[in-house]
Amino acid sequence: MSDQEVPDYYNMFEVSKNATLDIITHAYKKIIKRHSIPPEAPDSVRQRIESELAMYQEAYKIISTPEKRKLYDVQLEIANLKRREALLARQLKEDEESKEKEKKKEQEQPKEKTGSKKIDPRTKIGPGGFVFNQVKSVDLEKLKKKQEEERIKFIKAKAGEIFEEGKKLLSIYKYQEAVEIYKELVQLDNKNASYHTYLGLAMMGAGWTNNAIAQFKVALYYDQTEPIASHYYNLLSGEKKEDYVVEENEIEEKTENIFWKIKSFFNKKSD
């Protein structure tokens, strides 16, 4: 599921993002009651209702579980930021296309002498004496800058919290859930060696050895002194640290079962 495809479960249940579990459960029960299947319903109606029920059940399962809800809230916020960025990009593109059309139209018409005609200070003189208003562009640029500032602020506020949440999941062997958390962090800051390292640990625990090696390698690309990445990269790939060279080609997948290694690592960390 891509970022822009993350559904708004709160909107589905018609509750706020800060709603308590009791409020969410009450809303969920009302929806379930509303979607009861009549005994005489034809197969097409029955299938549609069952499909909708499955969607609501999945949504409730996520936002009624504290750990899953915490991760979902982060994913939803990121998705909303990216939706706004995409909308802004479309607006900027439409604005540019509109200006180009106006410019072309003006150039095709006979030029008029400007003389002493007053020009709005918010306008700009383009090639061939073409005059166009910059207000919309300036406003959109400010909006884009503001949204980017909001995105950075959100990342700084949540990154540390998300990182620690991922470590908790690793410590109780919930590797696939930890993978999802660290994927989000890597998307937020692709040059952070620690994020790649812990994503590699989560993938290693989940049994995805080849992907884990790739993440350790990326971590070492950004920080060759990263001890955990160095240890497991050398262990899984068979390369020595002094022979480490960044390469573009894929590393061959190892068949060795390393499930116990990740458990051992976190058991030692907790001792």
Distance separating alpha carbons of residues 84 and 68, to the nearest angstrom? 24
Residue 107 lies in a domain: no
pLDDT value at residue 207? 87
Number of structural domains in the chain = 2
* Residue 43 structural domain: 3-64
Confidence of residue 203 (pLDDT cuts 50, 70, 90): very high
Pair 88, 183 in one domain: yes
Same-domain check for residues 20 and 87: no
Per residue in 5-28, pLDDT (tens digit) is: 788 999 999 999 899 999 999 999
CA distance 223 to 192: 9
Which CATH number covers residue 92? 1.25.40.10
Banded pLDDT at 257 (limits 50, 70, 90): very low
Same domain, 135 and 225: yes
Q: Model pTM?
A: 0.43
The dihedral region occupied by 238, where left means phi > 0, alpha psi between -120 and 50, and beta the remainder, is: left
Per-residue pLDDT, 135: 46
Confidence tier at 134 by pLDDT (50, 70, 90): very low
140 and 56 both lie in a single domain: no
Q: What is the dihedral of CA 239, 242, 243, 244, to 10 degrees?
A: 80
Question: What share of residues in the chain are helix, strand, coil (percent, to 5)?
Answer: 70, 0, 25
Long-range contacts formed by 128-134: CB under 8 A, 24+ apart: 130/102, 130/103, 130/106, 131/106, 132/99, 132/102, 132/103
CA distances from 144 to 81, 94, 123, 150 (A): 11, 15, 21, 10
115 inside domain:
no
> For residue 110, how many C-alpha atoms fall within 13 Å in the half-sphere facing its CB?
2
Mean pLDDT estimate for the chain:
76
Is 186 a domain residue? Answer: yes
Looking at residue 243, what DSSP letter applies? G
Mean pLDDT, to the nearest integer, of 168-182?
Answer: 86
Cβ atoms of 201 and 212 closer than 8 Å: yes
